[in-house]
């Protein structure tokens, strides 16, 4: 891998891929950590007299109306606190680059080009168009390295490609977890299980124990015959069969807590598994880590215990994070896990807190990332 830390780039036009897909509510950025972690690479490139053109996706754009709620303008306004930067409103028209003397630009959401799909389909004509405005491609969006899109991978076909400080830090920070997983406890949470079954299968092959929590636990409980009320649950027969099979195959590895906070008659109450009623909705899972797992050499957490963004449902996630804070070699797997750390923890002693989310999960499960492999194979370097 070629990093900008040992390959000086100066006096160039640089397309820089960042991941600014940050959580936003009421036009306020709730967790700015991915933006802040990208500033080192941006400022370094600017200090070396480069013209920096930043690309990022933001949410999913499947129809025209989605553009209204998935504009990077909110990130642009935030970046203005740190950078002298201009905003390009149309990712399919970068002519503004030829009409301005600025050295730093943020281009509107790359997924605006997905009606019909171009960016997400790794359309090489789109990548070639973007590349025509630059001399070098710097990939610094670790959280997007599991997607082979035009802006994360396709650009490497047309430009010399390097990796920024954030990607380098992630690769180094996760190195021991990837290469030497020793007595590994994995904690997987989140809302939906349907897109996690292959990753879960790969993870079970390499971990010692797997604690399942959050919304994905509901499907496991349903398959085991428990009442989960009206809680979120997969209805996909393939997923249900998968869950049944791994419960049988890995029954000695899979753990889960039986304590929940449910919404019942507009009240939040704490119940055990056998007390859940037909109209209950599970919003939080309370894990007593010390009772469930006495010792583990390494711990990897990806996903939260419930709807931690609302204080009334944050107890499970906060309790788990506090318990993990007292242990050694704990890795936090980006996405909601990292946002929860930044929201709920005043300070932490974790071994590493990733910016990656799904990318980190796939990297730990499989040991490689799709866009990383693509770039290594196709880059013009």
Q: How far apart are CA 255 and CA 235, in angstroms?
A: 22
pLDDT at residue 294 is higher than 80: no
Share of the chain above pLDDT 70, in %: 100
Domains of the chain, by residue range, sit at 13-167+370-378, 175-353
Confidence of residue 227 (pLDDT cuts 50, 70, 90): very high
Per-residue pLDDT tens for 231-250? 999 999 999 999 999 999 99
Nearest to 203 by CA among 191, 189, 221: 189
Instruction: Decide which of 194 and 10 is more confident.
Output: 10
Instruction: Label residues 363-377 b or e (16+ Cβ within 10 Å = b).
Output: bbbbeebbbbebbee
CA distance 297 to 295: 7
Confirm if 348 and 328 have CB atoms less than 8 A apart: no
Q: Give the full edge-to-edge strand order of the sheet including 259-264.
A: 267-272, 259-264, 281-286
Same fold for the domain at 13-167+370-378 and the one at 175-353?
yes
Phi and psi at 242, nearest 5°, equal -60, -45
pLDDT higher than threshold 90 for residue 379: no
Report in angstroms the alpha-carbon separations of 25 from 29, 131, 200, 229, 302. 7, 33, 30, 29, 22
pLDDT classification of 224: cutoffs 50, 70, 90: very high
pLDDT at position 357: 87
Residue 346 pLDDT > 90, yes or no?
no
Give me the CATH topology for the region 13-167+370-378: Rossmann fold (3.40.50)
Long-range contacts of 24-33 (CB under 8 A, 24+ apart): 24/74, 27/74, 29/74, 29/75, 29/78, 30/309, 30/339, 30/343, 31/338, 31/339, 31/342, 31/343, 32/78, 33/338, 33/339, 33/342, 33/355
What angle, 0 to 180 degrees and rounded to 10, lies between the N-to-C axes of helices 237-249 and 215-223?
80
- Whole-number mean pLDDT of the chain? 95
Q: Tell me which CATH homologous superfamily contains domain 175-353.
A: Phosphoglycerate kinase, N-terminal domain (3.40.50.1260)
pLDDT the model gives residue 279:
96
Which tens digit of pLDDT belongs to each residue from 297-345?
999 999 999 999 999 999 999 999 999 999 999 999 978 899 899 889 8
For residue 284, give the nearest of 301, 264, 300 by alpha carbon: 264
% of the chain at pLDDT higher than 90: 87
Segment 136-153, tens digit of pLDDT = 999 999 999 999 999 999
């Amino acid at each position: 891998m070629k990093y900008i830390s040992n390959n000086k780039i100066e006096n160039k036009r640089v397309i820089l891929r960042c991941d600014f897909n940050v959580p936003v509510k009421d036009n306020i950025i709730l967790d700015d950590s991915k933006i802040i972690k990208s500033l080192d690479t941006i400022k370094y490139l600017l200090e070396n007299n480069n013209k920096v053109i930043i690309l990022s996706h933001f949410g999913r754009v499947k129809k025209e109306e989605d553009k209204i709620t998935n504009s990077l303008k909110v990130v642009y306004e935030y970046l203005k606190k740190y950078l002298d930067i201009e905003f390009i409103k149309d990712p399919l028209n970068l002519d503004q680059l030829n009409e301005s003397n600025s050295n730093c630009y943020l281009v509107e959401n790359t997924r605006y080009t997905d009606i019909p799909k171009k960016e997400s389909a790794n359309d090489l004509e789109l990548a070639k168009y973007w590349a025509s405005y630059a001399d070098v491609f710097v990939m610094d969006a670790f959280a997007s390295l599991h997607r082979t899109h035009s802006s994360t991978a396709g650009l490497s076909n047309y430009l010399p490609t390097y990796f920024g400080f954030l990607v380098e830090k992630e690769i180094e920070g996760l190195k021991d977890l990837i290469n030497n997983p020793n007595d590994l406890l994995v904690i997987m949470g989140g809302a939906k299980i349907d897109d996690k079954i292959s990753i879960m299968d790969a993870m079970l092959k390499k971990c010692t124990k797997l604690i399942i929590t959050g919304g994905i636990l509901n499907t496991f409980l349903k398959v085991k015959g428990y009442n989960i009320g009206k809680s979120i649950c997969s209805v996909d027969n393939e997923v249900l069969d998968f869950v049944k099979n791994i419960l049988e195959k890995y029954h000695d590895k899979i753990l889960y807590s039986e304590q929940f906070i449910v919404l019942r008659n507009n009240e939040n109450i704490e119940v055990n598994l056998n007390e859940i009623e037909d109209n209950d909705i599970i919003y939080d899972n309370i894990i007593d880590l010390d009772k469930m797992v006495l010792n583990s050499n390494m711990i990897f957490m990806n996903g939260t215990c419930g709807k931690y963004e609302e204080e009334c449902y944050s107890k499970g996630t906060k309790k788990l994070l506090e318990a993990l804070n007292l242990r050694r070699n704990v890795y936090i797997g980006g996405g909601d896990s990292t946002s929860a750390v930044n929201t709920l923890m005043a300070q932490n002693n974790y071994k590493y807190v990733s910016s990656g989310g799904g990318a980190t999960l796939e990297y730990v499960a499989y040991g490689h990332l799709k866009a990383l492999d693509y770039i290594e194979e196709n880059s013009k370097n």
